[in-house]
Structure 1
Amino acid sequence: MQLDDLYRRVIMDHYKNPRNRGKFDEDVVTIDLNNPTCGDRISLQLKVENGVVADAKYTGEGCSISMSSASMMTDAVKGKSLDEAISLANRFSSLMKGEAVEFEEYEDIEALSGVNKFPARIKCATLAWNALRKGIDAK
């Protein structure tokens, strides 16, 4: 199996079997963002305790890239300090710029590396990560 095929499978798995999709009932940091150029939208919720992302959930609608990226991001940041979460977001931005970045702690993210070949799709992939940054800034 070629790497591109594997990456496509990982993306489609997160799209069809999303991790952390849903809402919290309690009071949490909530960030709503949308990408008006393609219609993607996300509502990200972060449960932050003692400077750590204790849990993360999202709801939204969009293409397979934006929704799978949200699934991967929420999985990756759980249990991370706010600084570690921002570091992950910065590394993801580098990945979207075509830089070689590895995500040893959560390799599924690397499946989105091919998105940088399609500039119009970069906004789709970064929507959830931008929501994460806004949520941490709001905290």
Structure 2
Amino acid sequence: MISFYGNNCTYHTLSVAVFSTIITLYTNFTSIEEDKKKLILTLGGTKKDILWKVVIPCNIPQIISIMKVNIGLSLVGVIIGEFLAAKAGLGYLIIYGSQVFKLDYVIMSIVILCILATFLYQLLSYFEKKYK
């Protein structure tokens, strides 16, 4: 299975996904209309109220979209980390299978990754439809 422990796979995953996510979310959070913010402040709200009542609800579709993109990026980051440093996991199995000419190990690892990515993507699509 995918191993998130004992090696640098987590760091590869974070480095691939986090930076683009932070920049995109920052851009989306700062693009909220000033009138909405002023309305909350005029009615006695705080910055916390602006965040929870305006900014986050307006950005849920963008957050789900970012999560869909990050599914693929995170899986790629984990597999690359396992290519480099793991002694277990699907990335290790792909490298091992290619070295000992076991094409079935390689193909099955890729199929498992595709099934996992599809399941996670469908799960997010379900939440996206439920939100709309």
Quickly name the TM-score band, shorter chain normalised.
Answer: under 0.3
TM-score, normalising length from structure 1?
0.25
Structure with max Cα Rg: 2
Structure with bigger RCO (C-alpha 8 Å, 6+ apart): 2
User: Higher strand proportion, which one?
Assistant: 1
